[in-house]
Structure 1
Amino acid sequence: MLIDTPTSTPHTAPSDTANATATRARRNHDDAPDTAERFARLAELEDGPERSALRDELVAVWLPMAHRIASRFRDRGESIEDLRQVAALGLVKAVDRYEPERGAFESYAVPTITGEVKRHFRDRMWALRVPRRVQELRNRVRVARRELTQNPGSGEPTIADVAEHTGLTEDEVRAGMEALESFSTLSLDVELASSDDGYSLADTLGAPDASYDRIVDREAAKAGLSRLSERDRAILYMRFFEDMTQSRIADRLGISQMHVSRLINRSCARVRDEVMTQRSGNRSAQ
């Protein structure tokens, strides 16, 4: 007679089940492996090949988590490959600085990696360099505007609305809103949206005006001209403002054309020397 014998099945102790459940509860993501024992061993090892190999192993098993954090920042003007590199650098720093007795590795690594990625955006991705305080204002204003427009039917928040929501002053909100436009820049050659004939941003910019230099020169020469004799001033006026020839000036004053030429040269040299002396003195005073 054949007797069926019950097949033995694996038996898990209640305490083991409870521990496994607690471990899964602590690990919020599939990319958060259980590496407590390896980190404890890493902390005990001296520098050397064995420690380096274990360090590299820990970085490799936690790398998916770093990639997940990097993916949160996609579509912000930086490629996902570069963001993953930055996150990986943050992971290496977290592995090197982690102290097992202070809690779970994930609790330490997540803010470390996130901070590294944010620092990358803050320091490397701005087209215009702005102070860190202004960058922080920009982020607070951006988040506040998003939160204030989440409800259906909400209009564009005013500066006062953002200030009340964030606790910032209205001047700080304005600075943050200006910084929102400083993260990226336009090429001067970009065609304006309202233009149908290739009108670019560069076409709206002014060009150097030589007239300003002439105004500066005239003002600088005014004092020297006032110290010339009346006849010398009259000769310069006829020559440079009435555009008279030296011969006509000579005929009007009853002197030779050669004499007129010498008077003009002497007066111009005197005024020029006074202006140059004055400018040299101003530079010395500075």
Structure 2
Amino acid sequence: LIKAIDRYDPARGTPFSAFAVPYIVGEIKRFSRDTSWAVHVPRRLQELRIDLARAREKLAHELNRAPTTSELARHLEMDEEDVIEGLYAGNGYSADSLDAPPEEGHAQTAGAALAARLGGEDPDLEKAENVQALKPLLDGLEERDRQILHLRFGAEMTQTQIGEALGISQMQVSRLLTRILAELREGMLEVN
């Protein structure tokens, strides 16, 4: 109402009510359209969603089935890519709560809210992070220490087999492995 009052020009000879009513209705629609979406979507896609909903309803009635993307594009005289973008944008209109119960018919989700099924720890992710943190530490080791680690953990050789391959005793291999692993452990603790 205030905007309508500010923009009204009596010099045009139009009655205030004829100017104000459509102006106010338009502002209410714009506010509703801009604030009712769960995710911010550009206005052109918001309007496209409305056009798509109308076209979908009309074509479904005419065809007695759900229209395809190409049929919607032909009906609206636009590219299929634009129709697909509008359909995807329509997903941002409303969002379900993570605590909402699952939809009927999902046997694998019976009784579990979406939040209970999402966000579990990924052990492979932690492993990948550790490998990335460990790589510079391994690069800083002497060649013989890297070779011992490779033989023990890469080739999965026993300490005795490593000793034979390097010409040292099993006890020396054990001491070297203990020292190398302690250095790596200490380096990892400093990184984290």
- In the superposition, the TM-score normalised over structure 1's length comes to 0.49
1:168 matches 2:78: yes
1:136 to 23, 27, 47: 47
- Structure (1 or 2) with the larger CA radius of gyration: 1
Structure 1 residue 184, shift from structure 2 partner: 1.3
Contact 1:138 1:175 in 2 (8 A): no
Structure 1 residue 95, shift from structure 2 partner: 3.0
Matched residue, 1:185: 95
Mind listing any 5+ residue stretches in structure 1 that lack a counterpart? Answer: 1-90, 277-286
Structure 1 residue 116, shift from structure 2 partner: 0.8
Matched residue, 2:5: 95
Which AA in structure 2 matches 1:175? E
Matched residue, 1:159: 69
Matched residue, 1:207: 120
Matched residue, 2:148: 235
Structure 1 residue 186, shift from structure 2 partner: 0.9
Which AA in structure 2 matches 1:113? I
Contact 2:4 2:20 in 1 (8 A): yes
Matched residue, 1:268: 184
Cα distance in 2, alignment partners of residues 259 and 250 from structure 1: 13
Structure 1 residue 267, shift from structure 2 partner: 6.0
Cα distance in 1, alignment partners of residues 60 and 172 from structure 2: 86
Matched residue, 1:33: none
Contact 2:148 2:162 in 1 (8 A): no
What are the within-5 Å matches in structure 2 for residues 25-44 of structure 1? none
Contact 2:149 2:177 in 1 (8 A): no
Structure 1 residue 219, shift from structure 2 partner: 5.1
CA distance change for structure 1 residues 154 and 251 in 2, over 3 Å: closer, same or farther?
A: closer
CA distance change for structure 1 residues 150 and 230 in 2, over 3 Å: closer, same or farther?
A: closer
Matched residue, 1:29: none
Give the length in aligned residue pairs. 180
Which AA in structure 2 matches 1:98? Y
Structure 1 segments, 4+ long, off by >4 Å, are 219-224, 226-230, 237-245, 248-252, 255-259
CA distance change for structure 1 residues 243 and 104 in 2, over 3 Å: closer, same or farther?
A: farther
- In the superposition, the TM-score normalised over structure 2's length comes to 0.68
Contact 2:52 2:72 in 1 (8 A): yes
Mind listing any 5+ residue stretches in structure 2 that lack a counterpart? Answer: none
Matched residue, 2:15: 104
For CA contacts below 8 A with separation 6 or more, give which structure has more relative contact order: 2
Which AA in structure 2 matches 1:268? L
- Computed over aligned residues only, the root mean square deviation of the Cα atoms, in angstroms, reads 3.9
Cα distance in 2, alignment partners of residues 198 and 150 from structure 1: 36
Cα distance in 2, alignment partners of residues 162 and 156 from structure 1: 10
Q: Which is worse superposed, 160-169 or 119-128?
A: 160-169
Cα distance in 1, alignment partners of residues 60 and 18 from structure 2: 32
Contact 2:8 2:19 in 1 (8 A): yes
Structure 1 residue 194, shift from structure 2 partner: 1.5
Cα distance in 1, alignment partners of residues 35 and 46 from structure 2: 12
